Amino acid sequence: MKKVLEQQLQELEDQQNADISAMQDTINKLENELRTAESELARYLKEYQDLLNVKMALDIDVAAYRKLLEGEAEEEKEKEEAEEEGGEEEKEGAREEFENSKEEEGGEGE
């Protein structure tokens, strides 16, 4: 009976040692995965920061170009308005000349 109990005890200890070894392997594997995940996270964080810096620089460039375009559009609008005003003045001048020439023609006939 004693020998059977000692054998069962030995089998139990062997099983526990095997379980402990398997659990230690699992712990080591998980620790390695954790280190890998942490390094990937750090890399992703750096890439994100780099992309954010690029985005901010592009936003600044877009704002500068928008300001330039709005300035050009404003200048073009002012130029068109000036041309329209000049065109109206030319039309008015031509109208006055026409009316004056009609009056002169009408005055000669009398």
Provide DSSP, 1-62: -HHHHHHHHHHHHHHHHHHHHHHHHHHHHHHHHHHHHHHHHHHHHHHHHHHHHHHHHHHHHH
Q: Which two tokens stand for residue 33?
A: 């995965």
Q: Where are the domains of the chain?
A: 1-100
Can you give the pLDDT of all 110 residues of the chain as single tens digits? 889 999 999 999 999 999 999 999 999 999 999 999 999 999 999 999 999 999 999 999 999 999 998 888 888 888 787 777 766 666 677 777 777 777 776 655 44
Q: Which two tokens stand for residue 92?
A: 């008015």
Rounded to two decimals, the pTM is 0.50
Distance CA 4, CA 9 (A): 9
Q: Which two tokens stand for residue 6?
A: 């000692």
